[in-house]
Amino acid sequence: MSNFKAIVLNKTGDQFTREVKSIDKSFLIHGDVLVKVDYSDFNYKDGMILKNGGSLVKDYPHIPGIDFAGTVEESKSEKFKAGDKVILTGWRVGEIYYGGYSQYAKVDANFLVKAPKDISTKHAMAIGTAGFTALLCSFAVQARETILLGEKVNDVLVTGATGGVGSVAVMILSKMGYKVHALTGKKDKTDFLKKLGASAVIDRSELEGETRPLDKGLWDCAVDTVGGKVLAKALTHTKPNGIVAACGLTNSFKLETTVMPFIIRGVKLWGINSVDTPMKRREFIWSQAASLIDMNKLDEITQVWSMAKLISSYDKILKGEVAGRVVIDVNQ
C-alpha cells in the first residue's frame, strides 16, 4: 500500500484545521484489521467533530469519520480474512480512534460486522449510524407488540423526520405497517416525507408549546431524534402503555417533564445508544436492514460527496440544511 488520502484534523492552541492529506500506513496506529474503505457517511456527530472536534476528539492529528464500509486487506484476527466485506459504526471510532474519512482504516476486529450479502458497501453507508439507530428505535417500538405482549401499534410519531435518523425511521416504521406521523419544521418537505411513507406531516411548532403533565393521547408510540421540549411534549401525548424511543439531543439534552406519563399511562422511555450496541444485536439489526429499508427510496434521499466537498460543506448538517442521507466516497 502506497500513500493514501484522508481528512486530517489538527489543533494548535486556538487554531483548528481540517484538510485532505496524503499519508502512509504508519499513520494508522490502532487496531488489528486493515480495511480498504469504499465509503463513509455524514452524521450530525461528524459535523460537530469537523467543526472544532466537538469536545469529543482529545488527541491530534486525527482522522474523523464515525462510520465506514469496505474490504479487509490485512487481518491479525481470526474473525476476519482478506476479502471480507465489513461495516463499522460507532465504538467511538472517529472520536478516540482514527475513523472512516480515509481510503484506509485500521481498527479493532471486535468493532467490525461482516456485511450482509444483500447490502452493498454503498448502501451500508447510506444506512450508516443514522439508519442503524433508526432500526434500533423501530424495533423498540415493535417491542410493545412482541417482547411486552401489548396491543398492536397503530400510530407512531417520528420527530426530526427529515434528518438522517428520522427519514430512515419513517421508511422502516411504514414498512412495519404503522401509520407514521412525521414531525418537521421544514414546511417544504411534506412531499419528501410522504414519499418515504409518512401518513401525516405535522408542523414542529405543535410540539414546542407549554408542556402539561398529561395531554390528549395521540400516538401509540414515538421515535424522538431531537430531545428537549419536543421529547417532553411527545411523552405527554403518548397513549397508555406506549413506548417512546429517544436517540437525539439536537434540541436540548434537558428533559423537563413529570412522572405522570410513566405512572398514570405506563409510558416507557426507551433510550437508544447505537455507539456501544452489543455485537450479537448489531449482527441481528444488520441482518434485518435489507428487508425493512427500501433501497430504491434510500437512493432517492442519498447524496454522494467527496472528502473535499465534505470539508467545504460540513456546517450544513449543523444548520439543519441536510435532508436524508449523505454518503462520502473517499476514493473520489
Angle, helix 121-142 to helix 164-175, in steps of 10 degrees: 60
Q: How does pLDDT run across 108-124, given as a tens digit for each residue?
A: 999 999 999 999 999 99
Do 130-271 and 4-115+301-329 fall under one CATH topology?
Answer: no
Number of other residues whose CB lies within 10 A of the CB of residue 59: 8
Q: How does pLDDT run across 29-44, given as a tens digit for each residue?
A: 999 999 999 999 999 9
CATH superfamily, region 4-115+301-329: Medium-chain alcohol dehydrogenases, catalytic domain (3.90.180.10)
Q: Domain ranges for the chain, please list them.
A: 4-115+301-329, 130-271
Q: How does pLDDT run across 217-243, given as a tens digit for each residue?
A: 999 999 999 999 999 999 999 999 999
Threshold 0.85, pTM exceeds: yes
CATH 3.40.50.720 is held by the domain 130-271:
yes
State residue 207's pLDDT score. 84
The alpha helices in 176-294, defined as continuous H runs, are 190-196, 228-236, 260-263, 279-292
Residue in the structure block whose three cell numbers are 410513566: 262
Listed residue (310, 157, 295, 151) closest to 224, CA to CA? 157
